[in-house]
Amino acid sequence: MAGGGPAGAATALALAHSGAEVVLVHPDSAPEWRVGESLAPPARTLLERLGVLDRVATGGHLPCYGNRSAWGRAALTTSDFVRSPYGPGWHLDRRRFDASLREAARDAGVRYRPGSVTGVTRTGNHWRATVSGAEVTASYVVDATGARARLARRIGARLVHTDHLVAITARVPNTGQGGDGSGRFEDGTEHTSLIESTPFGWWYTAPLPSGERVVMAVTDADLVGQAGLRTPDGWWAALGLSRHIGARLPVHARPPERLAVLRAGTSRALPAAGPGWAAVGDAATATDPVAARGITSALATGIAAAGALTANAGGDEDAIRRYAGLVTGVHTEFLHARAAYYRIERRWDTPFWLRRRRLPDHSPLLQAPAGTG
């Protein structure tokens, strides 16, 4: 198992529950910044299947009672989780969340090896993986290395992109902490995420358990400079032009000291699985954060891949092919939904929005050859 984020940990945990011997390879140091900071209510069913719902529910994360958006018009619309059959979602402490899933996997018998998979070769029905200089032999390998799909590409899969979206991200002080279950902080700041479209792309913000707020400016990589988002001061000035996002910041807030530029594009591994291997999470299907489905997809593909590998080990020769087809179907469905959502916004004839109007629902624009990275 290469990668111990939500997808890798979920796959390892599901495989361990089926009785498999699993080695989870993950670097000791994890990225400080993550795009995904929220978890939607439907993910509760996946966490319950993995046996970690209580662990997450008591993990110090903030409840998320809904999403608000100014998209296609200046006024806000609300998607309310309070009446959801699943209950609220969460604004996550991502480091704590990811670590709790790995801890659950270890508790289930998964062996943890710090490091990374630097090479893999197929010999008969087995794999030989190089893990930080040591060799590990396995019947199956799983790529959970994220959107670059490093392992899948080594094996021969292609990485297919439909955009080069980036999220220029900062953490800023929030206006308050705590909550009383009403969906609001003590000073009135809501326990909701907020998205607001702009000429260059869109803004996103959500509160964090740390008492900070994550704020992201999302645009195409080649438009960052044109939008003035390269520096903290420029990013802050652009934020000041927003109608709703800036209103969630403290009155005396100052520009952040630094920004993080995160990959946020849509891509997929083609194929997402093959004889003796599978890709999960962003390595299989990475989606635009406008969908707010990254972590949920990571958990779902992890569970599905574990089921396919278990079935294959039991003699079902078609199980892995079916999993690859499932990923293709899910990704294609997302592309249709993404195209429809972006076409709601008709206020600006800027490069970002013109590209989205011209983008076919399911045709890839760009391909990266296998084995590069």
Q: What is the pLDDT of residue 173?
A: 86
What domains, with CATH codes, occur in the chain? 6-37+92-162+266-339 (3.50.50.60), 165-263 (3.30.9.100)
Q: What is the pLDDT of residue 82?
A: 76
Q: What is the pLDDT of residue 253?
A: 85
SS3 for the chain is CECCCHHHHHHHHHHHHCCCCCEEEECCCCCCCCCCCEECCCHHHHHHHHCCHHHHHCCCCEEECEEEEECCCCCCEEEECCCCCCCCEEECCHHHHHHHHHHHHHHCCCEEEECCEEEEEEECCEEEEEECCEEEEECCEEECCCCCCHHHHHHCCEEEECCCEEEEEEEEECCCCCCCCCCECCCCCECCEEEEEECCEEEEEEECCCCEEEEEEEEEHHHCCCCCCCCHHHHHHHHHCCCCCHHHCCCCCCCCCCCEEEECCCEEEECCEECCEEECHHHCEECCHHHCCHHHHHHHHHHHHHHHHHHHHCCCCCHHHHHHHHHHHHHHHHHHHHHHHHCCCCCCCCHHHHHHHHCCCCCCCEEECCCCC
pLDDT beneath 70, residues of the chain:
30-36, 175-189, 359-373
* Bridge partners (DSSP) listed for residue 217: 168, 203
Q: What is the pLDDT of residue 2?
A: 97
Query: pTM for this one?
Result: 0.91
Q: What is the pLDDT of residue 360?
A: 65
Task: State pLDDT tens for residues 315-334.
Answer: 999 999 999 999 999 999 99
